[in-house]
Chains A and B, each alone.
Chain A
């Protein structure tokens, strides 16, 4: 079993005199409380390892989400010591403060149970921002040639690796203040489509992001950019959308 491979035999079930971590984990839904656990500390240990240890040895009913464990799927994102992050790629030694960890679900999303959020609003906003690709070529036509060095193509490349972990959404203060705001991930997706030469609904995407809940609501705090585990800058994408909308307005088109 994965967790047994991490902790040497003998410390998995028993918290002895060896170093331990003080871990507080959110239990419940929107109403609930933190529960405290003592977890054996290991030399190389991620926050996800800690949550897994608690579920397997102390709290079998603890709900949390994970899949790949290597920073590919984005499903294990949680709030650790106040900061949204992937727990599988967060080493305890980098994030614990004096051996203490406070683990909560992501912010700004309905809580289903313990550390599990309902991501439906997050993905609904993707659709509201027009975030699906639509081309006009069929499979019988040749693939369109896109020069790798073209400016628009490079702009798409800068934002296309988003895996929808919702860390940026959780870190965004504006989403917290205005729950209808589309948020950084949806707007970043929209920006990649606006710059995609093969996409046929560019105008509609721009319309969808120029609403009162769209790009103009962003206050440019830059939290999304600072928190993104993949290194994407949704702030840059949102600024790009603002520029497009602004230029359209200057040309006499509606904002």
Chain B
């Protein structure tokens, strides 16, 4: 038996988890998204049918989570790019909070317009 490493409680690890999981979820979502856009090529009727389906509450909730996931992935990914390609200014842990905050605001904005 070994105990759980304390490093798993760090913001850096949690940022990695959020970034990885949101990325995987987006990888599942994006093909479906492009497929939907492709429906427009098949005529208005097919697209309208799907859009009506997208108005269902459960689908709307899924859309909302995907928007939040995208914002989370973008924010945390920007932090990684700056950490790895920019001049070194520490681990920029505060940026994790900013990324989560921006994702939350994006989620609220989506709710306001949806």
Chain A residues at the B interface, C-beta cutoff of 8 Å = 33-34, 79, 81-83, 102, 104, 107, 171-173, 176, 219-223, 225-227, 233, 235-236, 239-240, 242-243, 246
Contact = CB atoms under 8 A, between A and B. Distances in A.
Given A81-B6, A104-B2, A223 B84 contact: no
A124 to B, nearest CB: 23
Contacts of A104: 2-3
A226 B16 contact: no
Contacts of B1: 33-34
B16 A219 contact: yes
Given A172-B7, A173-B8, 11 more contacts: A79-B5, A82-B5, A83-B5, A219-B16, A220-B83, A221-B12, A221-B13, A223-B13, A226-B12, A233-B88, A242-B84
6 contacts: A79-B5, A81-B6, A107-B2, A173-B7, A226-B7, A235-B91
B83 A239 contact: yes
B85 interface: yes
Contacts of B2: 104, 107
B91 to A, nearest CB: 4
Question: What are the nearest 7 A-B pairs in CB distance?
Answer: A222-B12, A82-B6, A83-B6, A223-B7, A222-B91, A221-B12, A236-B88
Nearest to B86: A239
Interface in B79-100: 80, 83-85, 88, 90-91, 93
A141 to B, nearest CB: 34
Contacts of B4: 82
Contacts of A79: 3, 5
Given A82-B3, A82-B4, A222 B10 contact: yes
A221 B7 contact: yes
Contacts of B91: 222, 225-226, 235
A80 to B, nearest CB: 9
Contact of B84 (A81, A82, A239): A239
